[in-house]
Structure 1
Amino acid sequence: YSAIRLGVEDEDKFFSTQERQSIVFHLLYSIRILENETLNGIKFKIDQSLIQRGLEKKLISQVIPLHNKEQLNHLRETWVWPKNIFKAQPIVDIRQYFGVKIALYFCWLSFYTRALCLPALYGTYIWYYSGQSQELDDKLFIIHSLLNIIWATGFLIFWRRRQAELAYEWNTLDMEQLEDTRATYKGQLRRSPVTNKYAPYYPAWKRLLFRLLVTMPMLIFNLVLVSFCILIIFRFQAWIDRQLKLGHLPSLMSLTQLLPKILLALVTTVFDDVYKRVCRWLTDKENYREQRTHDNQMIAKMFACACVNSYLSVFYIAFFTHTHIRLSDQLITIFVIKQFWDHVK
């Protein structure tokens, strides 16, 4: 109890910057419409959130907090500048300004970077002695795999301990965050039996029906389409290789071997953007109440699409054709095309 009251006399220390922003954010979203009204052709119903309705109808573009330049300059001096690369991160200042989630991420990043020093050491040792004989390489490969398994297991165990220490230190142990309704959540207004206030309600059976009749067929169709395109490009690559081997194409035309690789990189890059738009549209139409559920569904769709679009061709080249030169050429081509596409769009 005394820890909770600590600093209550000083308004600058009792709440952190992130906590103040969260309080103001919650108060803004708690503003409710008192009576039914129509403004500029937009209907505002009783007990709706004014901010959520404004965001939904594009009356409000975005709700963002303003930065504190003095604190940002302090973080820049003690954290961002390259001169601080060998110094410990100011986690306390990061938590005070950006909040627990951001601070925990940078704690994990620092912990993970330090933990990578161990596999880097024995990996360098194994790399130095590899290549002398096939028997030695096989033994080193097994040893390297076992060490990686031990390292990964130990990393997870020690990170859980470190995470528990930080949660206890920051008073967030076993704390669950209650999420507000998403701004774009739609549904029929009805009085909630819990809060006795009007709240949007969207039946679960409609969401399930949309997922079965729209989401799943669209995702399957898109995955089949990109798989078909990748298969056609592989057949085109095989035809070019065969023609060059038979001498039906001039030697200068060997540059045409790059054409299927470029086509494959373009297909995967373009479909990647298409999938993002499709997955975002499908997730919005499924209409989830909480942001966390919305994000998880979005990630699941994107992961399923990425497994086929981004990794199918690479796995096929690596494990079925067993041509490492072709694999490296394809990866380089994909990297260059993606960089070019990101700059063009």
Structure 2
Amino acid sequence: MMENSGTRYRSGISPLVVVVLSPDTKEETVSWLLRRMREKQQDGGAELLVNQLRSEGVVEEKENPNIFLVTASWQRLLSGAEDLGLFREFSDGSMRSFTCINSHNFKEFHGDGDGFLSMAECQYIIKHELETLRAKDETHVPGYTQAKLYPGKSIIRRLQSKRILIRMFPLHDQEELKRLSFKWYKKVKTSLQPLDDIRHYFGEGLALYFGFLEYFTMALMPLALIGLLYCQFDWENYDKYVFFAAFNLIWCTVILELWKRCSASLAYHWGTLSRKKVFEEPRPGFHGILGFNPVTGREEPLYPSTKRQLRVYLVSLPFVLLCLYLSLYVMMIYFQMEGWVLMLHDRGPTFWTNILLFIPGVIYAVVIEVLNVLYRYAAEFLTEWENHRLESSYQNHLVLKVLVFNFLNCFASLFYIAFIMQDLVLLRQNLATLLITSQIINQFMEAVLPYWLQRRCNKMTMERPLSEQVRLETDMSCYQGTFDDYLELFLLFGYVSLFSSVYPLAAVFVVLNNITEIYSDAFKMCNLFKRPFSDPAANIGIWQLAFEAMSVIAIVTNCTLIGMSPQVRAYFPNSEMHLMLWTVAVEHGLLAFKFFLAFLVPDVPKHIQIKLARLEFESMEALKKKKMFAVPRLRRVAYEEE
């Protein structure tokens, strides 16, 4: 690990994590924190190895002296892996929770275990040990009387909330990063992404995102192929969209069910499928009145759930509704502009009026992107103000706020054109304009701009002294997680599943966008961002539910489009009511089929279910044997005492 970095601890383990304190942190605070990090576990410490970063050469005045490199001995890392319940491949090929006593029965465990854990796993273990470092008898952070502490409080989270600890991030491995970059994006290839290598370096959460991006791209290929074939037909004959809409109904349901099985296979292979979740600690920004947690018995801030609910329903909800109204108001302005341009074109069609027809759509697409960005900041502020105790609760509320607004902001005009105006020509034009304009903006922000920024700065993967490398990574941007990446895929999935039947080339553009996205995201992860901590995820989380909700809406939308087609209307020449009833009946039947299919197709493949059941059975048998041996021993001890 990072053998070229120039500095190794006496234990043979290279620096893994960087902890950066504020430059003006008081010396007694630094000494206290380092002592707690180095203390043995039985004394309440983390038992880690910590060294201060020493600059080589001339030290500039602006350089922060409070940068520390953290690592641990292999024995400490292995015991941390056991505490976290990391799953690894056992000698019989099954995935089992690692235990030190059975360490030599695990594949790839040799000698003292040197190299058994990946660098990402080691960094995750150190992060966990630091975050679970708790106050003992301290009433406040030494040197900062306003930073209150109490027994059981996470020290690191308190330092983060008080901005004493300003950064904590894992170091890049320059050699491994070079190898990953070459296999991932530096060469044009037709093979799939190196997901195992991505997982090994960045962790399961990021690998699952790239796995889903790749899977979504492959799943779009049939739609893209049909879209290209449709180019051979007359675009003005919109009756042909009925077949595409029917295909959409099946496609959007099947691919999500198959993805759940695919992600389960990946998660089992990576050892996160059956892994127990670590007990969640309060978020660094969480605050409240000091009290006792009824679950842990520790003293920590408590915040009434009723007060949080009042903030959600009396402030956040009205604000979201106000933003939705604003989005609809902007949409109506767009339609007024569209009507004015159409009137101008009808008076005297020219080359310039033909060009002018696309201007309102382009302006509206840009406004949509701007509104989405502004709303995102407002949603983050509101969700932070709601004061959620857990990070998972915070993320769920944020995702819900952002998804509702983005869905309405991006798709409201399409629904209005399709089902109120019932103008399929304008719908196709509007969909093409929104999709292409948004992709141009996103590609500039995610591909062109990052490449330009990287060309201006020094290459991160160049070999350099450890001190220079650490300071370079300290100044790099922090990766904010996969939220925005999944949101972009969610919107693209919506464009394809909802209305691509009237514009079949939408799937073609999304495929091209996703291919570029894979390379641009890989480039950014390897060159522009600090290395993120590993996230041992077993699936894509709440985003799976979001995509499934979109697929339900897609069934309703495509059934309505089919009901609007002249072929179907011909069967009901005298009764619109009968047509509507039949459309609703078919739609409900397809929804029932979708939910039946979700129930019928297991989320986890059968062979993996068998392996998990066998492992559970063996664990229960081992527990029974342990109890059987323990009872006679207790009886013998009692007899000896008599």
TM range (shorter): 0.7 to 0.9
| Secondary structure of the structure 1 residue equivalent to 2:274 | coil
1:220 aligns with 2:324: no
Structure 1 alignment gaps of length 5 or more: none
Amino acid corresponding to residue 176 of structure 2 in structure 1? Q
Matched, 1:32 2:137: no
Match of residue 294, structure 1, among 383, 388, 394: 394
Instruction: Determine if the alignment matches structure 1 residue 327 to structure 2 residue 410.
Output: no
Letter in 2 for 1:56: S
Cα offset for 1:186?
Answer: 1.7
Task: Note if contact 1:269-1:337 (Cα within 8 Å) is conserved in structure 2.
Answer: no
Q: State the partner residue of 1:17.
A: 119
Closer, same or farther: CA 8–36 of 1 in aligned 2, 3 Å: farther
SS of residue matched to 1:43: strand
1:110 maps onto 2:214 in alignment: yes
2:302 maps to a residue whose letter is Y
- Residue 37 to residue 11, structure 1, CA distance change in 2 (3 Å): same
Q: Which runs of 5+ in 2 are unaligned?
A: 1-89, 450-642
Deviation at 1:144, TM superposition (A): 3.4
**C-alpha displacement at 1:121, in angstroms?**
4.1
Match of 2:283 in 1: 182
Q: What amino acid does structure 1 have at the position aligned with 2:190?
A: F
Deviation at 1:201, TM superposition (A): 1.6
Correspondence 1:77 to 2:182: yes
Amino acid at match of 1:238: G
Residue 163 (structure 1) shift: 2.9
Deviations 1:214-271 (A, max 9, x none): 1111112222233234324533553565577679xxx999998777556645543432
C-alpha spacing 1:147/1:173, structure 2 compared with 1 (3 Å): same
How far apart in 2 are the matches of 1:233 and 1:111? 35
Tell me which protein shows more helix as a share of its residues.
1
Amino acid at match of 1:15: L
SS state at 1:63 partner: strand
CA distance in structure 2 between the aligned counterparts of 1:285 and 1:82, rounded to whole angstroms: 46
Secondary structure, aligned partner of 2:147: strand
**Structure 2: how far apart are the matches of 1:271 and 1:52?**
33
Classify 1:44/1:8 alpha carbon distance in 2 versus 1 (closer, same or farther; 3 Å).
Answer: farther
CA 1:141–1:176 in structure 2 vs 1: closer, same or farther (change >3 Å)? farther
| 1:72 Cα deviation after fit | 0.9
- Which sits farther off after the overlay, 313-322 or 201-210? 313-322
Q: Which amino acid in 1 is paired with 2:308?
A: R
> Equivalents in 2 of 1:114, 1:316: separation in Å?
31
| SS of aligned partner of 1:180 | coil
Measured at CA, do residues 321 and 62 of structure 1 come closer, stay the same or move farther in structure 2, by a change above 3 Å?
A: farther
Which residue in the other structure is 1:305 paired with? 405
Q: CA RMSD of the aligned region, Å? A: 3.7
Report the CA distance shift for 1:10/1:225 in structure 2 as closer, same or farther (over 3 A).
Answer: same
* RCO higher in structure (CA 8 A, sep ≥6): 2
Match of 1:97 in 2: 201
Q: 1:54 aligns with which of 159, 165, 187?
A: 159
Displacement of 1:213:
1.4
Q: CA deviation at 1:317?
A: 4.2
| Structure with max Cα Rg | 2
Q: 1:169 aligns with which of 269, 285, 303?
A: 269
CA offsets 1:30-57 (integer angstroms, 9 cap, x no match): 2223412364563222233222122222
Matched pairs, number = 336
Separation in 1 of the partners of 2:436 and 2:224?
28
Q: 2:336 aligns with which of 235, 239, 254?
A: 235
Which residues of 2 match residues 115-194 of structure 1 at below 5 A? 115-124=219-228, 126-127=229-230, 130-131=233-234, 138=239, 141-178=241-278, 179-194=280-295
TM-score normalised to structure 1 length: 0.79
- Which digits, 9 at most, give the CA deviation of each residue in 1:17-74, with x for residues without a partner? 2221111111111222341236456322223322212222222223211111121112
Do the aligned residues in 2 keep the contact of 1:317 with 1:326 (CA within 8 Å)?
no
Residues 262/77 of structure 1: CA separation in 2 closer, same or farther (3 Å cut): closer
Asked whether the equivalents of residues 147 and 158 of structure 2 are also in contact (C-alpha less than 8 Å), the reply is no
Deviates more, 1:274-283 or 1:11-20: 11-20
TM-aligned CA deviation for residue 91 of structure 1: 2.9
Say if 1:75 and 1:93, in contact at 8 Å, map to a contact too.
yes
Q: Equivalent residue of 2:301, what SS?
A: strand
Q: Is the 8 A contact 2:268 2:274 kept in 1?
A: no
- SS at 1:13 equivalent: coil
Query: 1-side partners of 2:437 and 2:215: how far apart?
Result: 31
- Please report how far the alpha carbon of residue 184 of structure 1 lies from its aligned counterpart in structure 2 after TM superposition: 1.4
Which AA in structure 2 matches 1:32?
R
Q: TM-score w.r.t. structure 2 length? A: 0.46
1:282 is aligned to 382
Report the Cα distance in structure 2 between the residues aligned to 1:284 and 1:314, rounded to whole angstroms: 32
